[in-house]
């Protein structure tokens, strides 16, 4: 009995433009979020800068992930660029960790929360940013979009961002450690920057 071919929209190898999509830049980042006593992270690869002033980034995340309520309730999230050789973080956070009351970041050295706006950012990453959530788009697909305004960040490694497994020169000047990119308003160490608008 011959198996009928799958419709093009169901066959991953026959989707329109699949060869072109595979050539688009991608990198491994650790998406993190925290609210109250809970914090979590997961590896994502679809990151895009989508505005310069103010600096805005977008992240595509598969629906149903466990970071969703943390990002929604705190209105902030972090992105940490994983080094190509970092298999420990990549393996641990390849999928969102099922918390069960445990902290997945226990045992990992983290950057000071006053620097990262309360977000868990491991010290061993190549670079990081913290973002204020400005949009959450539930598109008709298997992924959803988070759009965030960059608040602070730093390059911790001299190497450029990793794109499709290769190091390339950064496209913009690196953010100085602890720099707050909002205009105006200093970093106050609070984990919820959206509450600072009145004083900004």
Looking at the structure of the chain, the number of domains it has is 1
**What per-residue confidence (pLDDT) applies to 197?**
33
**Residue 193 forms part of a structural domain:** yes
Cα gap 190→68, rounded to integer Å = 20
**Residue 63 forms part of a structural domain:** yes
**Which two tokens mark 63?**
């629906």
**Residue 3 forms part of a structural domain:** no
Q: Which residues contact 15 (CB under 8 A, 6 or more apart)?
A: 8, 9, 21
- Point out the least confidently predicted range of 33-42, 46-55, 100-109: 100-109
Question: Binning pLDDT at 50, 70 and 90, where does residue 97 land?
Answer: low
**What per-residue confidence (pLDDT) applies to 65?**
85
Question: How does DSSP classify residue 14?
Answer: G
**Residue 50 forms part of a structural domain:** yes
In Å, how far from its chain's centre is CA 26?
Answer: 12
Mean pLDDT of the chain: 76
**Which two tokens mark 93?**
């956070």
Neighbours of 29 (CB within 10 A): 27
Distances (CA, A) of 168 to 64, 92, 176: 33, 26, 19
**What per-residue confidence (pLDDT) applies to 181?**
39
**Residue 187 forms part of a structural domain:** yes
Boundaries of domain holding 49: 15-199
For position 130, which CATH number holds?
2.30.110.10
pLDDT of 170 strictly over 60 = no
Question: Binning pLDDT at 50, 70 and 90, where does residue 24 land?
Answer: confident
**Residue 5 forms part of a structural domain:** no
Distances (CA, A) of 53 to 133, 149, 159, 181: 16, 9, 25, 10
* pLDDT above 90: percentage of residues in the chain: 46
pLDDT of 38 strictly over 70 = yes
Please state the pTM of the whole predicted model: 0.70
pLDDT of 198 strictly over 90 = no
**What per-residue confidence (pLDDT) applies to 158?**
53
| Per-residue model confidence as pLDDT tens digits over 59-70 | 999 888 888 899
**Residue 52 forms part of a structural domain:** yes
Selection from 163, 172, 34 nearest residue 104 by Cα: 34
**Residue 8 forms part of a structural domain:** no
Question: Binning pLDDT at 50, 70 and 90, where does residue 9 land?
Answer: low
């Amino acid at each position: 009995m011959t198996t009928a071919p799958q419709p093009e929209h169901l066959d991953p190898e026959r989707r329109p433009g699949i060869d072109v999509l595979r050539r688009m830049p991608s990198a491994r980042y650790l998406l993190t979020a925290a609210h109250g006593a809970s914090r979590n992270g997961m590896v994502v690869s679809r990151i895009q800068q989508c505005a310069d002033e103010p600096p805005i980034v977008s992240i595509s995340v598969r629906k149903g992930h466990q970071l969703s309520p943390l990002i929604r309730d705190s209105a902030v999230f972090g992105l940490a660029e994983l080094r190509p050789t970092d298999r420990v973080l990549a393996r641990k956070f390849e999928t969102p960790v099922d918390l069960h009351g445990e902290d997945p970041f226990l045992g990992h050295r983290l950057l000071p929360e006053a620097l990262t706006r309360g977000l868990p950012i491991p010290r061993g990453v190549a670079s990081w940013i913290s973002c204020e959530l400005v949009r959450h788009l539930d598109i008709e697909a298997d992924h959803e979009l988070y759009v965030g305004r960059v608040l602070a960040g730093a390059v911790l490694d001299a190497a450029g961002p990793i794109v499709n497994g290769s190091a390339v020169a950064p496209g913009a000047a690196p953010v100085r450690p602890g720099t707050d990119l909002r205009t105006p308003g200093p970093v106050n160490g609070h984990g919820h920057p959206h509450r600072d608008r009145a004083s900004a």
